Structure 1
Amino acid sequence: MKTNWVLSFFLLASIGITFSQQKKVYDIGILADYRTSEVQPLLQQLQHEIESVVGEDAVISFSESNILINNYDLETAMSNYQTLMENETDIVLAFGPVNAHIINRLKTHDKPTIMFGAVNQDIHILDLTKPTSGQENFYYLVESESYSTDLKKFKELTDFSNLGVLVEAPLMGILPLKETFDRLTNELDVDYKLIPFSTYDDIPAQLEGIDAVYIADGFYLTSDQNAALAQVLIEKKLPSFTVNGPDDVKGGYLATNQAKDNIDQFFRRIALSIESYINGTSLGDLPVYIEYTPRLTINFNTAKAIGIPIKYSLIAETDFVGDFNKTASQKKYGLLEAIDQAIGANLSLLANQKDVELSGQDIKSAQSNYLPSLTANANGTYVDPDLAAITNGQNPEFSTAGNLTLTQTLFSEGANANISIQKSLQKAQQENFNAAQLDLVFDVANAYFNTLILKANAQIQSRNLELTKRNLEIAEQNYDAGQSGKSDMLRFQSQMAQNTQSMVEAINSLQQGFLSLNQVLNNPMSLDIDVEDAILGEGVFESYNYDELFGLLDNPSLREPFVDFLVEEAYNNAPELKFLDYNLDATERNLKLNSLGRLLPTLALQGQYNSTFNRSGAGSTPPPGFGLVDNSYNATLNISLPIFNQNLTNVNRQTAIIQKEQLQINKDNTKLGISAGVRNGVFNLVNQISNIQLSEVSENAAKEALELTQNSYSNGAVNIVQLLDAQNNYLNAQLARVNASYNYLINAIQLERIMGYYFLLNTDAENDAFRQRFFDFLNTRN
């Protein structure tokens, strides 16, 4: 029995070897218009696809000598075609419009020839009404690409009026490009000019006089050349639309209407066509049309750089590419730079500064009570003539006179008190300004970190959308393989729409964050700004050693002393307490004035100089022996002491006592609030420190779980609900991890605001002194 099993095994093995040896070998030749380093991977991908599809039916052979390039020369193209017709090549793959121009004119084809990648629907060089080629040994693929569709979408996106159309120069004499674009632009009612180029260097000089660029060819431009051209267009503020795929949009072009997987679909169709031919189907009977699903892809970095707003009507059908960390902006802020600008330019703070200046004027006004007052008076007098006649010249009928009066306060308890009170109030106003300045620093930092949170959220939402697209691809593959129903595809399509909306909302929230930051910085609302990332332990945030802080707070023997020290520091620094102290000083002085101060007299000196300029009329002449004095002076020392002033002194005294009690209550309440704020701030920091550590673990676990679930779903082992749960869990874990560091910084800045001391704004020496005070405080407690 065992012998029969062995014999059967060898018999089957020999049959398999014989069958393998009997597989027919097909040599495939390739005709191409041009070849670059960028094209080589595509050729390899095509070869691999053909070998994978046909491998069970035949042996596929590719020879480097049978890959022939014409470099856009018609004669060379014809010569290359003849070479493949005469050598051992079994199947010819022809790529490019030059080869298409040669092959399409042939009435018969000696060898099976497949033409692809050559026909845009708007260039009528083939009969697009035929479902098949109808010719023996000839097959071509008609792509659903359309210049017309692209231009309509481009017009909707940017509303251009004078279009530049980039095409390879050699194609101008081969394809009816001018006739095609004449017709298409006439339908859109826009002007255009063809920009032919042989090399990349031909392009930049031809970009004048246009307001948009359509890359209608450029397949053979390298990725570096495409990126360089995209940068030139961005600098010229020219929107761009490419007939090629999303990879070029990632490189910097504004948009494309080609889906990412078009090339895969294209290569798969070619491989299947070869398989059909090998299995006996005539090439002339194969369907020539290949349907692509267009998908608008927009580079939001480019859109922002050239000032193209995203139309919400296009959101549902749009993919976005780009990097939120590389968005072009007119101004990019670091945190310290933002704080410095806000302190110098914030309107609320500037208004508060004016209050300090006004309080300084109040001091000057109070001090002016001790400055001399000089008054000049002049008068003209008319007296009844009968009366004037009997006054012996003392009151003539007509007279003019004048005087100078000098008044000088020598001592006034009220003036002294007012000066002292205004000085205290000025210091209080300065502390109010200091508090406003501390608040502004926190407002700037809070707006800055919140903008970073919104920026990170937009990035994560963008990546989550890409993840949904990937899951949709898996669902489509499962549906094609019969592993899942159509409902899974529909569910992911719905999910993709929701994720797109979430990304749009995240982008708009980010713009609102920039508006808030512009407002606090007193920038024009239209200023396009960006913020630098804040990374713990790097740059200006190096001093935030949260591991060291966590060690202090995690140690029971150090936690309470450290918190008490922070509270003590907050008491010493708080401008709110200093503000109340200076108001208490002013109230104390007012109370003193209305107590014993009321017993102090007011001393003032007054001097006057009088002069009569002229006398006339009746009584203007004195009788003989009676002289008149035209100039005289006098001096007076005044001493006044209020005895009873309608009881206002007692009322003012009682008012001052009530104000003092009120201020003391406010001070106690403020100290209580500071103490609670410090302690709450410390607990918040502990929470955020833990969040930083745990969120990283959570994200890594969620990512690994998602990858495992994706693989399981791809193999049909789990359902769509589990995959969606894994994706949402990963999304939330990313948001938590990214936001943890920023939330820590916000809470740290908030605690510093309560303490009245910002580590970022102080020198290393001052921060070291702060630490030393803690150690001294600790030693004192022990």
Structure 2
Amino acid sequence: MRHTFLIIALTFSICLLNAQKSTFNIGFLLDNTNSEIDSLLNHLEDEITAVVGEDAVVSFSKTNRLVNNFDKAIATKNYEQYLEGDIDIIIAFGIVNNATLYKRQNYPKPTIVFGLLSTELLQEIELKEDIENYISIVTTQSYREDLEYLIELAKPKRIGVVLEAGYLTSSPVESIFDKIGTDLQFEPKFIPFEKFEDITANLDDIDALYLAGGYYLESDEIRELAELLIEKKIPSFTANPINDVENGILATNHDKASLEQFFRRIALAVETIVNGNTMEGLGVRLETNKALTINYNTADRIGLPLKYSLIATTDFIGDPKKKVADKTYNLVAVMQEAIIENLQLETFRQDIELTDKDVQLSKSEYLPDVSANAAGNYTDPAIAELGFGQTPEVQTIGNVGLNQLVFSNAANANITIQRALRDAQQENYNSEELNTVFSAAQAYFTALILKANLSIQNQNLGLTKYNLKIAEENYEAGQAGKSDVLRFRSEMAQNTQQMVEAVNQLEQAFYNLNFILNNPIESKIDVEEAELLEGVFENYNYKQLGTFLDDPTLRLPFVKFLVQEAMNNAPELKVLDYNLEATKRSERLFGAGRFLPTVALQGQYNYEFSRSGVGSTFLGGRTRPKDFYTFGLNVTLPIFNQNKQNINQQIAEIQTKQLNVSKDNLKLNIEKNINDAVLNIINQISNIQLSKVFEETAKEALELTQTSYASGAVNIVQLLDAQNNYLQAQLASANATYNYLLTSLQLERFLGTFFLLQTEGERDDFRKRFLEFTQSNND
């Protein structure tokens, strides 16, 4: 009973205490609204409630958000409505509200006017200060500075300036832009709008667009506008927060932190009012930190090259790994195109054609050799007379000769040798094809690794800038020395250089890939991400390969099987086998084969077209037939050829021994390569998992260290160490999968086949052979 009484008494006391608190109804005046403005107002209400705390009760209602839709008459009516109603504090935002309330002579209720004004506009008007019940809180943004950045980025001659139609009629902004245009040497084209379509319908004849207004546009509308500008290759700049840049606008000079600063200042003004303190001196002009922010992907899509000189002072939004390209390759496409297009590989194909011609030449020894000859002879008459008809003074003759090889051991050996050399050249091509495919895969993964590196270096540069900001705040608060600020500035310079190098290294990687694929070096290409069990890797389970190798009981038989497969597939071994075949045939040729005769047929047909002059008749008046033929069989048997046969035989024997030694060495090397590749894959398997853990712990450690540094609990060295650890962890984690897949492809190169280029049937055959190998070895 006693406890019940205490609870009732405590509850009553709390209710009595709350009843004693003053309640303040707050109303908002807006030029326009949308879902995002509503969300920002909700955030502002939370900020006001938190700052006021227990001092009073602040009340908000969705009905107390009056909108004028850029109409001055409605703006005046809305303000009068609040003056006559139960609203205690009026907070006004927007160009029309500002202009309307600025002209008033008195403010019966506390009125807070806040907004974003350009420094150029502030030079045209005089802000009211120390007015009863009136507080003006503005943050400044310089149109001139924005346009200077836009001109530096894109060098436009005609800039479209987007502004609300009501803004143009209620302020001297048009003359301001005309003056800036004259100073910066560009022509402004004003694009006033009341609805979104007014902007999209007036984008012709401009080189760039400056979104000086448009604060109330929805995110979907900004994205649509940005996409349209990108399609038209029009650079864009916004005077609004970086949300516009996140939605695709090229750049802004608006600092993200300024909104929080804005809201906090308004909340403090409300706190002053509810506590009954004087409002004099609360009006303020907030100087926000400005930072050029660029959407990396938008710049890439419109083909705008970014100056390296801007990187140190610029924040980038977007993913540098997303590259605009005329063609995007996956790994299989790279491998297949390398086989078709690589120029070095094409020279090997032509070598095969040359050796094929050598085979045809060797076979041509058994083709008939037919020749025709015609001649006209004139002989001295004194000699012709003594010839008794055999050598007339004038004679024209012709003949057709035939030589046909019937049998030649040397010709037969040459045919066999040239066939073996042709087949060896084919295997040389197969080996070079494997090397080219692997080189293409290396170039592909190198590009992926460097894309990840670029993205991480960009993040690291942003992280350094954030840490520099902490150091500057600590320095201003007296928690750290100037040396910390200088150290982070030095670190930022180094990170900037690393960023520049990362950009250039990625470009070099694409140059190399273009070289391998026989593309023009400057071709815009990109490579798709490589994920295990996704995309081109879906049909081949690389994780299953890892399972075999990770289990020690399966690894040994699997490695033996892989060695056997490599021996069977290795084109380098086949090259040596074909060369051995050629040298052994040479041994037989210069050995017992040298005693085999060469047999050939010979024939000739002769025809005498004419004879005349002295000695044209035979003795006794006989006549010679006009035509006649001869036919013969020629058999040649070598007996002794200056000992060259023995020497050639000895040379062939030495070459055979040499090739056998090379073959044994190559087999040993293949076995070593397979085992090395297996160990590398095992290393990469563990690296995939451990790198993820490393990255997560390094990130958490960095966040804790940043918090501790901000409070002065740790020094700059510890923060830099934590940042560098996180950088290395990110690089290791991002590259782990790429390195695993590349190492797997290296193993496949040693196997003499690439599974990604095989059919499903060929992969099934591989698995069947492994099962058969396992069973036979277990038996």
**TM-score, normalised on structure 2?**
0.92
Counterpart-to-counterpart distance in 1, 2:552 and 2:202: 73
Provide the C-alpha distance between the structure 2 equivalents of 1:178 and 1:348, rounded to a whole number of angstroms. 63
Instruction: Tell which deviates more after alignment, 190-199 or 156-165.
Output: 190-199
Q: 1:162 to 1:648 in 2, by over 3 A?
A: farther
Instruction: Give the counterpart of 1:399 among 395, 400, 407.
Output: 395
- Residue equivalent to 1:316: 312
- Letter of the 1:664 partner, please give it: N
Residue correspondences, number? 771
User: Which residue number in structure 2 is paired with residue 507 of structure 1?
Assistant: 503
Partner of 1:193, secondary structure, is strand
Where does residue 695 of structure 1 map in the other structure? 691
Question: Residue 455 in 1 paired to residue 451 in 2?
Answer: yes
The residue type paired with residue 66 of structure 2 is: L
Give the counterpart of 1:375 among 364, 371, 375: 371
- Point out the more displaced range, 173-182 or 248-257: 173-182
The 1:555/1:526 distance shift into structure 2, 3 A limit, reads closer
SS in 2 for 1:144: strand
Q: Which residue of 1 aligns with 2:190?
A: 194
1:39 aligned partner: 37
Larger deviation, residues 256-265 vs 766-775: 766-775
> Is the 1:95–1:118 Cα contact (8 Å) retained in structure 2?
no
- Give the CA deviation at 1:478: 5.5
Match for 1:298 among 294, 299, 318? 294
Q: Point out the more displaced range, 764-773 or 275-284.
A: 275-284
How has the CA–CA distance of structure 1 residues 747 and 263 changed in structure 2, closer, same or farther, with 3 Å as cutoff? same
Match 2:339 to one of 339, 343, 351: 343
1: distance between equivalents of 2:59 and 2:775?
A: 85
Task: Quote the Cα distance in structure 1 between the aligned partners of 2:35 and 2:607.
Answer: 109
Tell me: CA distance 1:360–1:649, structure 2 relative to 1, closer, same or farther (3 Å): same
1:419 aligns with 2:400: no
Selected match of 2:753 from 753, 757, 777: 757
Contact preservation (8 Å) 1:132, 1:286? no
Equivalent residue, structure 2, for 1:618: 614
| Shift in Å, 1:149 | 0.6
How far off its partner does 1:278 sit? 5.7
Of the three residues 720, 742, 748, the one matched with 2:744 is 748
Q: Which residue, out of 28, 31, 42, partners 1:30?
A: 28
1:64 to 49, 62, 65: 62
Per the TM alignment, residue 135 of structure 1 is displaced from its structure 2 partner at its CA by: 3.9
- Residue pair 1:166, 1:217 contacting (<8 A) in 2 also: yes
More deviation in 527-536 or 543-552? Answer: 543-552
- Alignment deviations for residues 42-71 of structure 1 (CA, whole Å, 9 cap, x no partner): 112222223333436544333434322110
Match of 1:210, SS state, is coil
Distance across 1 between alignment mates of 2:691 and 2:280: 61
The CA RMSD measured in Å over matched residues stands at 2.9
Post-superposition offset of 1:249: 1.0
Q: After alignment, is 304-313 or 448-457 more displaced?
A: 448-457
Residue identity in the other structure for 1:207? L
> Which whole-Å CA distance do the structure 1 matches of 2:116 and 2:101 have between them?
11
Q: 2-side partners of 1:368 and 1:550: how far apart? A: 54
Structure-2 residue corresponding to 1:51: 49
Range 279-288 or range 456-465, more displaced = 279-288
Structure 2 counterpart of 1:144: 140
Relative to structure 1, the CA distance from residue 720 to residue 52 in structure 2 (aligned partners, 3 Å threshold; closer, same or farther) is: farther
Question: Equivalent residue for 1:184?
Answer: 180
The residue number in structure 1 matching 2:5 is none
Deviation at 1:277, TM superposition (A): 5.5
Partner of 2:3: none
Distance 1:553 1:743 in 2: 16
Q: Which blocks of at least 5 consecutive residues in structure 2 are unaligned?
A: 1-7
**Residue in 2 that maps onto 1:330:** 326
1:588-610 per-residue CA deviation (whole Å, 9 max, x = no partner) reads 11121111221111111121122
**SS of corresponding position for 2:62:** strand
Deviating more after overlay: 102-111 vs 293-302: 102-111
Asked if 2 retains the 8 angstrom alpha-carbon contact of 1:132 and 1:285, the reply is no
Q: Do 2:617 and 2:623's aligned partners in 1 also have CA atoms closer than 8 Å?
A: no
Partners of 1:559 and 1:11 in 2: CA distance: 77
Q: CA deviation at 1:688?
A: 1.2
Q: Secondary structure at the match of 1:221?
A: coil
Q: Of 203, 216, 223, which residue of structure 1 is paired with 2:219?
A: 223
8 A Cα contact 1:381 1:399, kept in partner: yes
Which string of whole-angstrom CA distances, capped at 9 and with x for unpartnered residues, describes residues 185-215 of structure 1?
2222223322222222233332222222211
Equivalent in 713, 717, 731 of residue 727 of structure 2: 731
Look up the match of 2:119: 121
Q: Which residue of 2 aligns with 1:7?
A: none
Q: CA 1:59–1:551 in 2, change beyond 3 Å: closer, same or farther?
A: closer
- Change beyond 3 A, Cα 1:496–1:262: farther
Contact 1:143 1:291 in 2 (8 A): yes
Q: Report the secondary structure of 1:767's partner residue.
A: helix
- Paired with 1:265 and 1:679, the residues of 2 have a C-alpha distance of 62
Letter in 2 for 1:127: I
Retained in 1: the 8 A contact 2:116–2:141? no
Deviates more, 1:78-87 or 1:51-60: 51-60
Summarize the Cα distance change of 1:391–1:270 in structure 2 as closer, same or farther, 3 Å threshold.
Answer: same
Taking the TM superposition and a 5 Å limit, the aligned residue runs for 1:266-665 are 266-276=262-272, 283=279, 285-286=281-282, 288-324=284-320, 326-472=322-468, 488=484, 491-542=487-538, 545=541, 548-622=544-618, 625-665=621-661
1:5 alignment counterpart: none
Of all paired residues, the percent bearing the same amino acid is 52
Q: CA deviation at 1:113?
A: 3.0
Which blocks of at least 5 consecutive residues in structure 1 are unaligned? 1-9
- Answer yes or no: is the 8 Å Cα contact 2:321–2:454 preserved in 1: no
Q: Determine whether 1:207 maps to 2:207.
A: no
Q: What residue is the counterpart of 2:75 in the other structure? A: 77
Aligned counterparts of 1:387 and 1:555: Cα–Cα separation in 2: 101
CA contact (8 A) 1:164 1:192 kept: yes
Distance 2:131 2:168 in 1: 28
Larger CA deviation: 53-62 vs 559-568:
53-62
Out of 92, 95, 110, the residue aligned to residue 94 of structure 1 is 92
SS state at 1:378 partner? strand
Give the deviation of 1:354 after TM superposition. 0.9
Asked whether the 8 Å contact 1:158–1:308 carries over to 2, the reply is yes
User: Could you tell me which amino acid in structure 2 is paired with residue 115 of structure 1?
Assistant: V
- What's the TM-score, normalizing by structure 1? 0.92
Cα contact 2:330–2:536 (8 A) shared by 1: no
**Aligned residues of 1:399 and 1:614 also touching (Cα < 8 A):** yes
